[in-house]
Structure 1
């Protein structure tokens, strides 16, 4: 008998009948997404696109700044195209250490640790600081990376009402500190509506129970705080012995990668225990060099942070005046409500056709069930561009988007 026929018969016998397609269930899942209008598609963009971008997270307009791109190129020329290994083997360069020192100093923390992404930074911080027997109190509006960190951590997780310190207090109240450490986990600025967490009040709750606070400052760095030093700095929490901040280098710094900032003993613990640090290749030199150049540029031009907030405020004010329902931005994200998921998708598509790129969030990506356009302000936008963007959004809006 032919070898392949023998293999096929053996496989069929092992499963008690003809072999089944192991990925057949994917077709059913795909059809469900299509029927629900939830199919995601990649849209490669051109390097020289003339469309106005209100969808990226390049809050300070630094991704294409000559100093930032030259920082990337110079680092690649000197250190190579990749880090060549994990940070604990060959993946740490003098450039990584330089970026860590300057990030910690700029944001007001004792130490910093650079990882390959903001996602990896959140997984590292949450899993390493929430061992078995501990408790994580997690805001219901947290980013997926924090949620995944909670799922992977060995501590129990209590999900509490959005931006509600009293709900966090109740969750901590039932935990015995002798069982293990407790920690609250929250975004500093929430990525869907752009609202800020009540950090001072949440820190007070944590301290009353001897709990730590981990805040994801992905949308705060470069926008909030003195000269863009971040939400922890703005709340007076930077450098506190019981506060840890995570951040990404891919938004305000226009690069890629992530970092954890906090007390030196916390950073040392992550170096020794955080799996997304230990077992991952170090951040590429080009991204490290770009982030360092962007950070130094921000230090020289702190007005960029205020300009990003000003643009967000102008977008909110003009869209609200036009009759659309928008959420007041606490940083650089502006949320505009849409009547239905389908109308949100069509609205975003019409904006794109008109030369304006906007984000589109809808269920199940948003837990509150509200579909919306998500706009991101940029410090390099002119007043005329803001006005043009508002006109496009208003002109293409579905009738049901306007207040009655």
Structure 2
């Protein structure tokens, strides 16, 4: 037996947190005060916020319809809090189901036009809990390389064979489906409806055709499409008229529905299977009542006569900001062609601009410096660096709300204009229009 005071030879499991590949750049960013993350918000998430002691225009929120400040939504949260208290202290399976859950699931299914729906405590759990349950060893999952991290997490948890394909490349999707034919199990294609960084929309009609041709099921993550696209705001699947060809649709409450949580909408048999089999659903506490009450109230606002004007306004604002940034010489994505036969809020001459308007910068360090200049000028945006984007693809992710008015957007564009002039004088040119 070794002496009790012998030095252990087992490697320290915490060793990886020291000197990792991004430690130096993080330290340098903190030293230069240009770290774009973990800044403290001290007001509601409205078009103009208070952040770290200053007024800043919020162009970094997913509050697409602006409903976090809507009195009807706040009252829905208050009513739920008063009736059910601060928490439910258990899972939906046991003591955590209240009538608000059942109403919300029923109304989501009506909104999505599906047989049933199930709500999860978070959007991340919705993806992980669905993919990790529906897929298993022997199955194949074909996923877009731009899919949200929670989709990848669910795929890895399932232990199904993962066949990724290059972002929105239909030829690569077809090759992956061809190869999956020899894998021997069931095949599921999973794509975002609207991709969270670039703001582009998946070509769902063609994806549906390929999935059907090769006998695969299709799941669409509508986290950034639900409450934004389509006449009902039901997402990219509605926009393209392919709702009946998509097997499962995921969405969240933390964007247009002004709360926190997630849902899966689909056939009754699949949803019921998730209710009794998904570990992420069965073994986590139910969402706090206020969150459920707020989401239900927001859904009802969107489905009311007040909803369509909000859908129109957020997309009008997105196009206004995109066009303004391009006119200033920034590299932004072009309006997306959705076809002349598509008629819905925000569609102009067969094109649409989603509320996510990325500005390509390229270099990680330049992106951090540009973010800081905008922040100091009174505009908050999000920063996406590698590995969230490909190497050399750093971008500033701007996003708009229906409740931004033209005066505030013009004020933000004026900051972008002055910052660009000063920034390029010191750091060299930024990518221009057409570079994205």
Identify the match of residue 28 of structure 1 among 19, 31, 37: 19
Instruction: Show the counterpart of 1:3.
Output: none
- How large is the Cα RMSD of the aligned pairs? 2.2
1:36 and 1:180 mapped to 2: Cα distance?
A: 48
- 2:152 paired residue number: 147
Determine if the alignment matches structure 1 residue 125 to structure 2 residue 130: yes
Is the contact made by 1:51 and 1:357 (CA closer than 8 Å) also made in structure 2?
A: yes
Cα shift at 1:23: 3.2
Q: Which residue of 1 aligns with 2:316?
A: 310
Alpha-carbon spacing, 1:140–1:315, altered in 2? closer, same or farther (3 Å): same
Instruction: Map Cα deviations across residues 18-68 of structure 1 (whole Å, 9 max, x no partner).
Output: x98653542323744535749674222112613211101000101121111
| Contact persistence 1:114–1:283 (CA under 8 A) | no
Could you say which residue in structure 2 is the equivalent of 1:13? 6
For 2:390, the equivalent position in structure 1 comes to 367
Q: 1:347 aligns with which of 370, 383, 390?
A: 370
Aligned to 2:176: 171
Q: Which residue of 2 aligns with 1:194?
A: 199
Q: What is the DSSP-based 3-state SS (H/G/I as helix, E as strand, rest coil) of the residue aligned with 2:69?
A: coil
Counterpart of 1:4 in structure 2 is none
CA contact (8 A) 1:194 1:334 kept: yes
C-alpha spacing 1:343/1:178, structure 2 compared with 1 (3 Å): closer
Query: Compared with structure 1, are the counterparts of its residues 368 and 306 closer, same or farther at alpha carbon in structure 2 (3 Å cutoff)?
Result: farther
Equivalent position of 1:5 in the other structure = none
Segments of structure 1 that go 5 or more residues without pairing to the other structure are 1-7
CA shift, 1:128, in A, is 1.7
Structure 1 residues 171 and 402: CA distance shift in structure 2, 3 A: closer
Q: TM-score of the superposition, structure 1-length normalised?
A: 0.92
| Counterpart check, 1:183 vs 2:181 | no
Paired residue for 1:45, among 41, 46, 64? 41
8 A Cα contact 2:364 2:392, kept in partner: no
Structure 2 unaligned blocks of 5 or more: 44-48, 336-352
Structure-2 residue corresponding to 1:263: 267
SS at match of 1:186: strand
| Partners of 2:92 and 2:285 within 8 A in 1 | yes
Q: Determine which of 274, 277, 283 is the counterpart of 1:273.
A: 277
Aligned equivalents of 1:20, 1:129: Cα separation in 2: 37
Q: Distance in 2 between matches of 1:91 and 1:186?
A: 31
Number of equivalenced pairs: 393
CA distance in 1 between counterparts of 2:146 and 2:407 reads: 34
Partner SS state of residue 338, structure 1 = strand
Provide the residue aligned with 1:337 in structure 2: 360
Match of 1:391 in 2: 414
TM-score normalized by the length of structure 2: 0.85
Q: 1:281, 1:318 → 2: CA distance? A: 45
CA distance in 1, matches of 2:370, 2:65: 26
- Conservation of the 8 A alpha-carbon contact between 1:72 and 1:290: yes
